[in-house]
Amino acid sequence: MVESGDYIRIKFQEESRNKKPVGIYWLQAASVQAFSSAGSDAIWPYRLPSALAVWLGVLMLFHFGKRLVSPHGALLGAGVLATSLLVVLEGHQAKTDAVLMATAVATMGPLGWFYVHAKGRAVAQPGQMVALAFWLALGFSILVKGPVVPMVLGLTLVSLAIADRGLGWFVKMRPLMGLVVVAAVVGPWLVSINSATEGAFVGEAVGKDLLPKLLGAQESHGGFPGLYLLLAPVFLWPGSLLLWPALYKAWQERTAPPVRFLLAWIVPSWIAFELIPTKLPHYVLPLYPALALLIASFAFEREGRTGKWIKGWGLAWGLIGLALAGAAIAAPLKFGAGFSPWSVPAALTALLASGLALKSLWPGHHARALVLGGLGGALAVVLILSAVLPGLDQLAISRRAAQAVAQQGGSQPVAAAGYHEPSLVFLLGTQTRLVDGGAAAADYVTKQQGALALVEGREEAAFRAALGEVAVRELANIEGLNYSRGKAVVLRLYRKEEGK
């Protein structure tokens, strides 16, 4: 996008990428233009929008959360969200989901404020600027990931309408004006992209991306209903220490307006995500802010009180920290060059966080348990991401392929067959050719002077067959795990033998 100057159409190389809207691409392009350049292979400018979105989402959760729970609960809830495993992971990636979470908070926060004020909670009356912020956030959420936040919003409103037998309070948010605002945010780009693609964007986004995910498991990312519920303690860790007790207490108090709103935010959308066959852990991320507020609110309400089942769940929760510590030790042995010295402080920090949290939980110091677990757990995850993960060469297939190309001079044209990960193009440059199969790679390396062919194992036979009597030299053999697809990968780098 930065290289071409085309900020309307979304492309991956020469192929139109009509799957997701343009929002995240605009943010990343702006970051690159501000802090880097199109030709740089520095990844941090592309990740910066995600990191900033996490901070913004956390701050907004505190701001709006004060209207739904106590100020102390809002502050602790923001901390629970900021230190949760999934949020930390998403904040370190150049993806849409951290930004989507921020737009979810920016949308649902004002909605909750209007709701609890209408139901008699002693909070300041939200003005029209709050309503305008709600509609602007909803519009931008559509530019980020299409129907996700509107779905969460719609299911929340339907649930509240059923529970309260009406939605009269929602009129104060001026929905007619709001729809105009949303149209003003989304409309110009939507009209432009459909004009530029002759209507292909909406057709492909719905027909080739959205509907296949709703009707079946796409890209090997399937799962059974209930999977998100099973994974929630892991991806909400360490804040999941009080997850089940908080949800149980919330259900008991579901008639209280703040609790009713938070449950309406969580439950119907969670069920919808569970029923969708395609499953990835980050799909439920827009619901995590509401969970964080419920957990924090429970911590203060139950301060000084405990019970056997809370302690029992605490012990089970401790196994997650133990597993994280084990992963910090085992991952370099399995996917790296061997034992990493950084594994020790990472593992010890995870164990210490779990131990201190459980020590505070036992006498009923719930808030302290969340604070100690959150700070220690976040530090452990950051140590793993910054010191342990970079040494896992078996997972860094694209990086190793780029290094192999660089060893040959780095300026030769490269054709890749069978392995078309965006990270490969990012590291090798947009001049990289993503060809259709081994035969096309053979044709390219044969006809292009000095060209290289990067061939994935499944395309090896077709590549060899198409070469015929043309001799090539194998320059590198790269084996690893494509973690995004969960499949082993073997890449071989070839060059035509000169004069043969």
> Under 8 Å CB-to-CB from 102, ≥6 apart: which residues?
53, 54, 56, 57, 60
Residue with tokens 């860790």: 237
At 50 the three-state DSSP class reads helix
Residue 436, Cβ density class (10 Å: 0-12 exposed, 13-18 middle, ≥19 buried): exposed
What is the spatial distance between Cα 100 and Cα 141, in angstroms, rounded to a whole number? 6
For residue 470, give the 3-state DSSP assignment. Answer: coil
Give the Cα separation of 240 and 374 in Å (integer). 10
C-alpha to C-alpha distance for 433 and 447, rounded to whole angstroms: 14
What pLDDT score was predicted for residue 11? 81
Cβ atoms of 346 and 384 within 8 Å: the answer is yes
Half-sphere exposure of 380 (CA within 13 A, CB side): 30
Kindly state the greatest CA–CA separation across the chain: 85
pLDDT at 218: 60
Q: What per-residue confidence (pLDDT) applies to 206? A: 78
Q: What is the pLDDT of residue 500?
A: 54
Compute the distance between CA of residue 177 and CA of residue 258 in angstroms, rounded to an integer: 26
Round to whole Å and give the CA distance between 63 and 159: 24
**pLDDT 10s digit of each residue in the chain, 500 long?**
787 788 888 887 777 777 889 999 999 999 999 998 887 888 999 999 999 999 999 999 999 999 999 999 999 999 999 999 999 999 999 999 999 999 999 999 999 999 999 999 989 999 999 999 999 999 999 999 999 999 999 999 999 999 999 999 999 999 999 999 999 999 999 999 988 888 788 877 777 777 777 666 565 567 889 999 999 999 999 999 999 999 999 999 999 999 999 999 999 999 999 999 989 999 999 999 999 999 999 999 988 888 888 999 999 999 999 999 999 999 999 999 899 999 999 999 999 999 999 999 999 999 999 999 999 999 999 999 999 999 999 999 999 999 999 999 877 889 999 999 999 999 998 889 999 999 999 999 998 888 999 999 999 999 999 998 899 999 999 999 998 878 899 999 999 987 65
pLDDT of residue 2: 80
Cα distances from 447 to residues 198, 420, 440, 453, 466, in angstroms, run 35, 21, 11, 12, 13
- Determine whether 193 is exposed, middle or buried from the number of CB atoms within 10 Å of its CB (0-12, 13-18, 19+): buried
Q: Which helix (H) or strand (E) holds 67?
A: helix 44-68
Residue type, position 318, single letter? G
DSSP 2: T
How far apart, in Å, are the Cα atoms of 154 and each of 161, 264, 266, 300, 352?
10, 10, 12, 31, 42
Q: Is 191 exposed, middle or buried (0-12, 13-18, 19+ CB in 10 A)?
A: exposed
DSSP state letters, 148-162? HHHHHHHHHHHHHHH
**Dihedrals φ, ψ of 134, to 5°?**
-60, -50
From CA 353, how far away is CA 321, in angstroms rounded? 8
Pairwise CA distance, residues 47 & 53, whole Å: 10
**pTM for this prediction:** 0.93
